[in-house]
Structure 1
Amino acid sequence: MNLKSILIAASVGWATATAAFCADPLTEHQASMTTGARVPQPVGHYYFCKAYPSECGQTASVGKTASLTEVAWHVIKEVNANVNGKITQVTDLEYYGEPELWTYPKSAGDCEDFALMKKKELEARGFQEADLLVTVVKKPDGAGHAILTVRTSEGDFVLDNLDDRVKRWWQTPYRFEKRQSSLDSAQWVLIEQVEKDVPVAAVLN
């Protein structure tokens, strides 16, 4: 099913579906992250772009963020659970013998590999690249972590290899640091709700 089919899907019963992820009133939270200036690109993503140049660069011109229909919501949850289920979590050092390597996982990978695979699979299902953004966060223990943000008409949602549930970004325990630009997937932008940089090696193009 392509995105056009997803977006024109009937919205009957959508109120019931949204109840699953709207437990808290949006009046207390921003539905979408606020992004700011360009920031350094994670070094792992820099080398990923060298290996997959067609996957990095200016995104296609898009209009409004895609509508989050009941069908689209089902696809997002399905992709998150499927990738989490078929890929084994290992560190880059354990699996590749390198401290930082971003790539598409075959059977095992680190957090950023999960995010890249989910992005690829959602694009294949018709979601636009500008709405699928790899995001760097800081976990409560201070460790860096990567997830996939999906931008929708209902706000920003997080796909995480540590949780099969798809949540609104503010429902996670993370401090959000930076993410891919929706205009250029090789560029990264600050997420303004946080103040400190996550300790992830980075370079500028």
Structure 2
Amino acid sequence: MTTKKILGSIILASALLGTSAAGTFANTASMTVVGKANPPIGHYEFCQINMAECAPTGRDAGAHALTETDWKTILEVNYDVNSAITPLTDMEIYGVEERWAFPRTVGDCEDFALMKRKLLIDKGFDPSNLLITVVLQPSGEGHAVLTVRTDHGDFILDNMRNKVLLWSDTEYTYLKRQSSSHPGRWVKLQDGRTSFVGSVNSN
């Protein structure tokens, strides 16, 4: 292995470890797919207009093998979109409760996720590893983020922060996300952290 590759491996490891303690990596597997889910109405309507974005792939490429270059790309895309788009609600933009669309200058949380997904696909990431995900904030309010599946865990690109975190390091409760084999379909998630907390609190 060349000195350059060794340094790259060290930089990548440092970046990833900086997002989580070793124990959190073990918890990553706690978020599992437990069945089918209905797509958000906004995504369903988005797919009717943007059919190519939701066409079935028929395959799951498996978790993305994360490299130093890929990690930098993920960070840059998250930061660039967060910096370029002003967050506004769909009611403020369109006068309706829910509309998913690629943003130009303004957008809702799901619009940020759509744009990040598109840009990462353009940069060579497989669509099966770029999954729009619906979560609950601690306040109980719904929110959408982009999950990037990698061999180092599932990372979350969020319009509320520029730092990219492992899903298990966020404060969200995970509900459902796009299917890895069909971007027009959705699957239900089981957030293992929530189950654990619930069992502790019930004693």
Match of 1:84 among 58, 64, 82: 82
Match of 1:166 among 164, 167, 171: 164
Q: Indicate the residue corresponding to 2:186 in structure 1.
A: 188
Runs of 4+ in 1 over 4 A off after TM superposition: none
Q: CA offsets per residue over residues 34-92 of structure 1, 9 Å max, x none? A: 11211111000000001100000212634432111111111001000000000000000
Q: What SS class does the counterpart of residue 105 from structure 1 fall into?
A: coil
C-alpha deviation, 1:32, in angstroms: 6.6
From the CA coordinates, give the structure whose radius of gyration is larger: 2
C-alpha deviation, 1:19, in angstroms: 2.4
Q: Indicate the residue corresponding to 2:9 in structure 1.
A: 12
- 1:23 maps onto 2:21 in alignment: yes
Aligned length: 188
CA contact (8 A) 1:31 1:156 kept: no
Q: Map 1:27-42 onto structure 2 (within 5 A).
A: 29-31=27-29, 33-42=31-40
Gaps of 5+ in 2: 195-203
Q: Indicate the residue corresponding to 1:49 in structure 2.
A: 47
- Between the aligned partners of 2:84 and 2:154, the Cα distance in structure 1 is 25
CA contact (8 A) 1:32 1:155 kept: no
Gaps of 5+ in 1: 1-8, 196-205
Letter in 2 for 1:94: E
Q: What SS class does the counterpart of residue 79 from structure 2 fall into?
A: helix
- Between the aligned partners of 1:53 and 1:141, the Cα distance in structure 2 is 34
Percent identical among aligned pairs is 44
- Between the aligned partners of 1:27 and 1:90, the Cα distance in structure 2 is 34
Q: Normalising by structure 2, what TM-score?
A: 0.86
Q: What SS class does the counterpart of residue 145 from structure 2 fall into?
A: strand
Q: CA offsets per residue over residues 136-191 of structure 1, 9 Å max, x none? A: 00001111000000000111000000011000001111000000000100100000
The structure richer in helix per residue is 2
Cα RMSD of the aligned pairs, angstroms, is 2.0
